Amino acid sequence: KAGVTQTPRYLIKTRGQQVTLSCSPISGHRSVSWYQQTPGQGLQFLFEYFSETQRNKGNFPGRFSGRQFSNSRSEMNVSTLELGDSALYLCASSSGLAITYEQYFGPGTRLTVT
């Protein structure tokens, strides 16, 4: 069974630009969650999508947005990039069907904002 895939793996952008990251979950999984990981703040929850609907949202500004497609693939968009957005962005895949569900992470996208 293929794991979670994320593209691109590495990205360098300039302040003020926007970026779109993509995540393909494990086959059959309907939930995709996005996390930001930085050395200073650790792993922070951005949002979660289940069956094309945002089910949960973390405490990030509106510049961070996402969506999920009917095939469960998800994209995350960050507009008007700031230097502080440099981070490892991780998506996690889950069945999403029960509170006990386990989340499996993709390899991440390393975003550098200059």
Partner 1 sequence: QKEVEQNSGPLSVPEGAIASLNCTYSDRVSQSFFWYRQYSGKSPELIMSIYSNGDKEDGRFTAQLNKASQYVSLLIRDSQPSDSATYLCAVIPNDYKLSFGAGTTVTVRA
Is 45 among the residues that bind partner 1 (CB under 8 A)?
A: yes
Residue nearer to partner 1 on the CB measure, 44 or 79 = 44
End-to-end CA distance of the chain: 37
Q: CA of 74: how far to CAs of 4, 10, 15, in Å?
A: 11, 17, 24
Calculate the alpha carbon distances from 21 to 68, 98, 99, 110 in Å.
12, 27, 27, 10
Give the residue, chosen from 24, 33, 72, 74, that forms a contact with partner 1 under the rule CB under 8 A.
Answer: 33
If one asks whether residue 43 binds partner 1 (CB under 8 A), the answer comes out as: yes
Q: Please, what is the minimum distance in Å from the beta carbon of residue 105 to partner 1?
A: 4
- Residues of this chain that interact with partner 1 (CB under 8 A) are 31, 33, 35, 42-45, 48, 50, 55-56, 58, 88, 90, 92, 96, 99-108
